[in-house]
Structure 1
Amino acid sequence: MHKLMIVSRQQTAYETLLAEQPIAGLTLTQQPKEATILLADPPKVAPLLDEFPALEWIQSTFAGIDALTKTNLRQDYSLTNIRGCFGQLISEYVLGWTIAHQRHFNTYQSQQQANHWQPHPYTSLAGKTMVVLGTGSIGSHLARSAKALGLELIGVNRTGQSGEPAFDTIVPLTKLNQALEKADFLISTLPATADTDDILNATSLNHCRQAVLFNVGRGNALCETGLLSALDSGAIAHAFLDVFKQEPLPQSHPFWRHPTITITPHIAAESFPHQVMAIFRDNAQRWLSQQPLRYAIDFQQGY
């Protein structure tokens, strides 16, 4: 019998779901020394890893697992993450803000408070180019959603190949700058790896021409001083940021009051417990029957 321990800010919700539908072969424990399996939020469990001597497998409740792939942490267990749940939510976030920006919705809301009637010119999204960094499940879902609005889609990944037909073009990261020159909208869905550290920096961002930037992947991909430089030069017209190198964002950070930066507190795609539990149940059955786990992480690659 495997012992499962839950280490999550939504622990009560997961325990309720397990109580409603137990998993044969697993029992809950509150004793770290007994736990062989963890259902865990990576940032919450990372500092506690050494408290689990019997650990064999962690099912992350997040897509992002970079808190657990740092080289100074133990890697003597199997790690899986959550995929397939976040594409819809990220698409809603990106396209919602994109339409609001394009159609001046915030401006009209401010004008309403001042009883001010003033129309502003706009153009359709149809025919504009969206460059999506990362063509996995999230980037591909976004591409399909954006394609329905008539956007041209360029995907950027390590290989320059993808099985997602919604992308009109796929280019490798080595051609990132050429892709950025075409971007009306630039969206990073990249994972946190050594290869993506500060990939969007002053040099690369200044290949853009008044692009609107979204970072909904991981905070490491964006050089913060590079973004400020690109905003000053006009290469980036506006930045919508949901992830940051330090979270919560420090009160003294210059992003807070920057007129062309919109900040949201890492809410673009929530890990809903019922969706996480569905993936965990499937993987638990695989684990108990010694079958390969879905969404396994390669510690060396970081994803």
Structure 2
Amino acid sequence: MHKVLIISKQQPRYHQRLSAAQLPGLHLTDVPDEAEIVLADPPLVAPMLADLPALCWMQSTFAGIDALMQPELRQDYQLTNIRGHFGPLIAEYVLGYTLDYTRHLSQYRRQQRRGQWQPLPYTSLATRTLVILGTGSIGTHLAGVAKAMGMTVVGVNRSGRAEPAHFDRIYPLTQLTDALAQADVLVSTLPATPQTDRLLNRDSLSHCRETLVFNVGRGNSLCETGLLAAINAGQVAHAFLDVFNQEPLPPHHPFWQHPQITVTPHIAAESFPEQVFETFRDNYLRYTQQQPLHHLINFEHGY
């Protein structure tokens, strides 16, 4: 018997699916002391880790697990996250906003309300270079969609190596500024690790040239004052930000009213319970058969 505890804002939906699935040997519990397996939203479960003495495996409902990476928290269990579902959603977000900006779609809507017929100049995305920080499943999917639209795609990761599919060039993090100098559109999909902290700062962003900047990874990778300086210097044309160091963004934060910053409330790619359940079910069967789990987190690396 494997006792499973659910700690999530979507608890009723997960409970319903697990009850209906009738997975072998699975017993749902509401008692933290009993839980051998936990299906959880990382921010909700992090304060409770000390209350889970029987924990052996936790399935995160999110891709991001930085709430569980704090050095004071225990790491004596297997942690898996969600991967493979977010690439299409991130691609929709990034390319949707990029096309809105480059093709002046919102501007035309405003002109329509004024009865104004005024064509605006534009160039095709096929003339643009997209730089993606992070070449994992999200970055790779985004690269594929961008290539289908004719864009040149440059990737940046720790080693400078990756599967060649969809990327025209790959740079190591040590050559970040070489990549940024090419960026018409820059997208960070990076996880929160010490190596990514404030990676996009005043110095690195100074190598951009009227770039559209997206942060859809983690808030720690972007230095907020550095971004504002780069916007003021004309190095960043507009920033589309979905993740922040502090969420929700404080009411008086300068980003809210800035004309060259678009703020969205961490919605670029949500974890849908139906998809999370499929990952959990697959990993649960592997767990019960003592097989290696998919999407296992390396606590040392932080992803």
Bucket of the pairwise TM-score, normalised by the shorter protein: over 0.9
Verify: 1:284 aligned to 2:288, yes or no: no
- Structure 1: runs of 5 or more not aligned: none
Paired residue for 1:93?
93
- Displacement after TM superposition at 1:50 (Å): 1.0
Paired residue for 2:145?
145
Q: Which amino acid aligns with 1:246?
A: Q
Q: Which amino acid aligns with 1:118?
A: Q
Structure 1 segment 259-274 matched on structure 2, within 5 A? 259-274=259-274
Cα distance in structure 1, aligned partners of 2:106 and 2:72: 45
> Per the alignment, in what secondary structure is the counterpart of residue 33 of structure 1?
helix
Paired residue for 1:200?
200
Cα distance in structure 2, aligned partners of 1:140 and 1:184: 18
Structure 1 segment 219-298 matched on structure 2, within 5 A? 219-298=219-298
> Per the alignment, in what secondary structure is the counterpart of residue 127 of structure 2?
coil
How big is the alpha-carbon RMSD for the aligned residues of Structure 1 and Structure 2?
0.7
- 1:184-227 CA distance string (max 9 Å, x none): 00000000000000000000001000000000001000000000
Cα distance in structure 1, aligned partners of 2:22 and 2:242: 35
Cα distance in structure 2, aligned partners of 1:179 and 1:74: 37
Cα distance in structure 1, aligned partners of 2:247 and 2:14: 24
Cα distance in structure 1, aligned partners of 2:127 and 2:161: 23
- Displacement after TM superposition at 1:76 (Å): 1.1
Cα distance in structure 1, aligned partners of 2:202 and 2:58: 37
Structure 1 segment 157-172 matched on structure 2, within 5 A? 157-172=157-172
Paired residue for 2:185?
185
- Displacement after TM superposition at 1:101 (Å): 0.6
Q: Which amino acid aligns with 1:232?
A: N
Verify: 1:127 aligned to 2:127, yes or no: yes
> Per the alignment, in what secondary structure is the counterpart of residue 208 of structure 2?
coil
- Displacement after TM superposition at 1:298 (Å): 0.7
Q: TM-score normalized by structure 1?
A: 0.99
- Displacement after TM superposition at 1:116 (Å): 2.1
**Structure 1 residues 164 and 268, CA, compared in 2 at 3 Å: closer, same or farther?**
farther
Q: Which amino acid aligns with 1:3?
A: K
Q: Which amino acid aligns with 2:184?
A: D
- Displacement after TM superposition at 1:239 (Å): 0.3
The 8 Å contact of residues 131 and 155 in structure 1, kept in 2 or not, is answered as yes
Cα distance in structure 2, aligned partners of 1:253 and 1:22: 48
Cα distance in structure 2, aligned partners of 1:79 and 1:40: 11
Deviation larger for 12-21 or 174-183: 12-21
The 8 Å contact of residues 88 and 142 in structure 1, kept in 2 or not, is answered as yes
Cα distance in structure 1, aligned partners of 2:206 and 2:112: 35
Deviation larger for 16-25 or 284-293: 16-25
The 8 Å contact of residues 140 and 164 in structure 1, kept in 2 or not, is answered as no
- Structure 2: runs of 5 or more not aligned: none
- Displacement after TM superposition at 1:25 (Å): 1.3
Identity of aligned residues (%): 61
> Per the alignment, in what secondary structure is the counterpart of residue 89 of structure 2?
helix
- 1:56-115 CA distance string (max 9 Å, x none): 111000000000011011111110000001001000110111111100111112222222
Cα distance in structure 2, aligned partners of 1:71 and 1:231: 34
> Per the alignment, in what secondary structure is the counterpart of residue 126 of structure 1?
helix
Q: TM-score normalized by structure 2?
A: 0.99
- Displacement after TM superposition at 1:129 (Å): 0.3
> Per the alignment, in what secondary structure is the counterpart of residue 125 of structure 2?
coil
- Displacement after TM superposition at 1:119 (Å): 1.6
